[in-house]
Amino acid sequence: MRRDSAGWRSLARRTGGRATSIVGALIERRERWLPPVLLACVTLVSFLPTLKNGFVGDWDDDVILVNNPSYRGLGWPHLRWMFTTFLAGHYMPLTWLTFGLDYLARGMNPVGYHLTNLLAGAGLRTWCAAKARRLVQARRLAVLAAVVVAIGLGTLTWRQVHVWHDLRSLWTRAVDTYPSATAHYNLAVFLFREGDIAGAITHYRSALAIKPDFAEAHNNLGVALAREGRLDEAILQFQEALKINPDGVEAHYGLGLALVRQGRQREAVDHFRRALSISPGFQDAQRNLDRALAESRLAR
């Protein structure tokens, strides 16, 4: 009987030791995979709203993606361009390859581009977390640090993603937080394209209040005022733009159009000709010059 009790106690000790080893191994494995998986989940959740975002024009998407047909495919001309270009000052052939794949998969649908960035970002953060864990001896401290950092970054990212939803939200936030001339100008450009002429005029004037020698803002304000039929004010803005930049093609052209609408074709001719001397291939300027010349001859 005593032998049987001793045997049971020995078996219990061996079984208990194995259970402890199993529990320890599970805890170790949890501490190994928890930080990378946590960062991956936080990244996916934080950046998920980007799938509803469009391209951000007037920033860099218009130059890199929207108005750039060179990356759209994986043929030899595309690959040669990807591995030789320094567009926007960067050499990034691997990025161009992913853009090419995105285009083949979804065309110019922003969802595909944002989804690729989302998955790549989650993968990279997971890999970095796994590597960083090996360098940290205090594993539980590493887990705690990963949790804190992940939650903090996730919260900030979630907020910022909504700011970058579109140009309106981006430049509105910029105007609210740092009302620079550039922020007001870019918001005005967006509003004008959306048909909010009054809003565009307001923000062009705000840009000029901060930076009076902003030639492009004077020109665009002139265009907006002319669209509203306020030709005298528009002409003054075009003239201000030309004082700052006498070779401003758009300002000469816009001033010419405003003068024609006031019946001042002979004055308009001079500005159309000036625009063409600066930009000889400006077809609209040539067409309006011919019309102004014809109308001025009929008025004699």
pLDDT at 162: 47
pLDDT at 283: 92
Distance CA 50, CA 114 (A): 6
Distance CA 262, CA 5 (A): 114
Distance CA 34, CA 37 (A): 5
Half-sphere exposure of 42 (CA within 13 A, CB side): 22
pLDDT at 246: 94
Residue 201, H or E segment: helix 197-210
Contact by Cβ (8 Å): 59, 168: no
pLDDT at 98: 81
pLDDT at 68: 80
pLDDT in tens, 174-230: 777 777 888 889 889 889 988 899 999 999 999 999 999 999 999 999 999 999 999
pLDDT at 267: 92
* Neighbour-count burial of 300, counting CB atoms closer than 10 A to its CB (0-12 exposed, 13-18 middle, 19+ buried): exposed
169-298 is a CATH 3.40.50.2300 domain: no
Distance CA 35, CA 133 (A): 8
pLDDT at 207: 94
- 48: Cβ contacts below 8 Å, ≥ 6 apart: 118
In the numeric block, which tokens belong to residue 68?
């750039």
pLDDT at 167: 64
pLDDT at 163: 46
pLDDT at 11: 46
pLDDT at 49: 62
HEC readout, 119-173: HHHHHHHHHHHHHHHHHCCCHHHHHHHHHHHHHHHHHHHHHHHHHCCCHHHHHHH
pLDDT at 262: 93
Contact by Cβ (8 Å): 150, 132: no
pLDDT at 300: 55
| From-to residues of CATH 1.25.40.10 in the chain | 169-298
If you search the block for the tokens 């930080």, which residue do you land on? 35
pLDDT at 108: 81
State the 10-residue block means of pLDDT for the chain, 300 residues long.
53 50 49 63 62 62 75 85 79 81 80 69 63 55 56 51 57 75 88 91 94 95 95 96 94 94 92 93 92 74
pLDDT at 38: 66
Distance CA 238, CA 271 (A): 11
- 172: Cβ contacts below 8 Å, ≥ 6 apart: 187
